[in-house]
Structure formats: structure tokens, C-alpha cells
Amino acid sequence: MALYLTESEINKIIDIKIAIDSVEESFRMMANGEAVNKPRERLPLGSTSMNYMSAGIDSANITGLKVYVPNPMGTKFYVHIMNAETGEIISIIEANTLGQFRTGAASGVASKFLANRNSSKVLLVGTGFQSFTQALSIDSIFDLEEIYIYSRSEQNRRNFIDLHQSKFKSKLTQVQNIFDPDDVDIINIITNSKTPVIDEKIVNKGTHINAAGSNHSLRRELDTKTILKANNIFVDDLDQAKKECGDLIYPESLGLIQWRNIINFSDIFRFPKKYSRQTDDITIFESQGLAIWDLVLANKLYTLAKENNLGTSIDV
């Protein structure tokens, strides 16, 4: 029997702390060789595609698959957890909320290790479904003064603040353009833009950038000058970045950067002294999203669901 968990059930047990812990644990597992991650594949299907990605954890004896078909009417995500020895399905989890939290948590984890520890001001670019947990994760890690909220629509900015301010320690303030805030420590961008949104003129010394929306080779959020301005560029997984990170694929195709100089974020845990931050460093974390994040978080939610008598047992 497998346990089926719905979005409403996941919403009862998930929070940003468990998501952050799961993503950090995922990177540590990768650094220690305890987990494997398979980059996303996109199987063309007429006007859409079936997207799937997988991972495995040796110590837990589990493997997992995340699968979804993009749909303008509303994409449904599913994570399957399987026994790595028998292949039996342990759980099937509706994973829209799970994906939202693990994606946001990744930017929080990256900021924890790459941004200056006294960071107090954040610029959040984008107010869509994924944006809330992006800001929430950073807010939970740092003692922030203010998070500046920018999107092209003033109404979207206002709606975001009205809906979410009560959940934050820091003050949410809308800005009319990305040039308005001064002395921003962390820039967090999550859009579906095909052309750069971030101009290098707003990137000061000591800034850390999380670019979390460019998970397709044809999308770009950062202009080339911003890429070239960085002291260190980190990716969640180099193999996946080579296929999906438009921010890096474009300048690499022009010979402006080389993949050998791009750093797997998990190396932070393998070589902490080598990648320790200098105060004036400009750092970038390019986030495409990893199946190992989904699997670690899904497994923890599965355990919590059993403890709280959630889910439906199904024959598979």
C-alpha cells in the first residue's frame, strides 16, 4: 500500500523551516556522495511537454521521481517516492506547494552561505506564485529591516504586501522600479522573463543575487554585465545549468565565460575555506531546481503525514 497525499494535506504540515533544512541537507548529501540527482528532461508533446526529474538517497534506501505537464490552465506536479531495492511505491504526493517551498528554500540556503551575514535589505523582483517563499526563506534566516517588492504591476505589488505582510518579521515595501532602493544586500529575482530584468547598475559591491526563474535555456533574468561583474557564480547543479540556465548559456556561447569557472553549490560544503565570502564579493546563485530537493522534502512530509494520520492508502 502507498500513501497518497493531497495539496490540502501537505499544507497542514509544511513550513519554511522544514523546507530550508531539507534543501541544505540535500546539498550536504550531494557533497558527501550520499545522493544522486538526475537533471530535468523535457519530452515534447505537441504544444507542451512532459517534464520529469529524479533522484536517489543511498542512506534512506529510496529513490524518487517528480513529473508534470505544463498547462496554462494550471500545472499539476507529482512526486513519487519508491523503495530503491524493491521498486515499490511508498508515496505519491501532490507537489505544487512542495515545489513552491523547496524553490524558495533554495534561495534562502544560498543566501545563508553566500550573502553577507549582516544583510538587512532585500530586493524581491517578481510577485507570482513562487515569490512568497523566496522572500519568506530569506526573512527567516536574516534579521532584515526591509524587503522591497517590485513587479511591473503596481496592483500586484500591493496585493502581495496586503496578502503576506503579517507572515514576515521585516517590513514589505513596494517600489516602482528596480533602481529605487539604495544599498540592497540581496537581490532575489523569480520571473519567467525571456530578456534580462536585472541591470548591472543596481548591483553594488557585496551584493548577493538569487536568480530563481531562469530554468529554461531561452530565459534570462540577469544581463551579461551582471554575470561578468560577479566574483563567484554558483549553480545548484552544473549538468542541469548547462541545459537550462539561459543566464549562463548565452554569455558562454559568446566565449565571455567558461563552464569550468562555474561552481556547484554543494562544493560550499566540500571546500568551505575555498569559497568563504569576502565582504565586497558579488555572488550569484543560479537556481534551476533539483529533484533531490523534492525527494528529501517529500520524504520528511511523508513521515510527518503518517505521524499526523494524514493521507489515503492506495493499492498500486
**Residue 213 predicted with pLDDT over 90:** no
Are 12 and 150 within one domain? no
Q: Which residue has the cell 554558483?
A: 234
Q: 68: domain CATH number?
A: 3.30.1780.10
- What does the DSSP 8-state code read for residue 278? P
CB 299 within 8 A of CB 59: no
What are the residue ranges of helices labelled H in 87-130?
Answer: 96-114
pLDDT category at 99 given cuts 50, 70, 90 is very high
**Residue 215 predicted with pLDDT over 80:** no
Are 134 and 275 within one domain? yes
**Residue 158 predicted with pLDDT over 80:** yes
pLDDT category at 219 given cuts 50, 70, 90 is confident
Q: Count how many Cα atoms sit within 13 Å of the Cα of residue 193 in the half-sphere of its side chain.
A: 19
**For the chain, what is the mean pLDDT?**
96
pLDDT category at 81 given cuts 50, 70, 90 is very high
**Residue 278 predicted with pLDDT over 80:** yes
- Domain membership of residue 306 as a residue range: 2-99+292-314
What are the tens digits of pLDDT across the range 164-177?
999 999 999 999 99
Quote the percentage of the chain above a pLDDT of 70.
100
Are 95 and 196 within one domain? no
pLDDT of the residue at 171: 98
Are 59 and 136 within one domain? no
pLDDT of the residue at 130: 94
pLDDT of the residue at 217: 80
Spatial distance between the Cα atoms of 146 and 151, rounded to a whole number of angstroms: 16
Are 299 and 271 within one domain? no
Are 115 and 191 within one domain? yes
Are 54 and 201 within one domain? no
Spatial distance between the Cα atoms of 244 and 216, rounded to a whole number of angstroms: 4
pLDDT of the residue at 138: 98
User: Cα angle at 129 between 128 and 131, to 5 degrees?
Assistant: 65
**Residue 53 predicted with pLDDT over 80:** yes
Quote the percentage of the chain above a pLDDT of 90.
91
pLDDT of the residue at 46: 86
Are 161 and 282 within one domain? yes
pLDDT of the residue at 216: 79
Are 141 and 252 within one domain? yes
Are 8 and 147 within one domain? no
Are 160 and 303 within one domain? no
What would the mean pLDDT of 30-39 be, rounded to a whole number? Answer: 96
275 closest CA partner among 240, 238, 226, 232: 232
Q: pTM for the complete prediction?
A: 0.95
**Residue 214 predicted with pLDDT over 80:** no
Are 229 and 304 within one domain? no
Instruction: Report the domain count for the chain.
Output: 2
What would the mean pLDDT of 179-203 be, rounded to a whole number? Answer: 93
Q: 258: domain CATH number?
A: 3.40.50.720
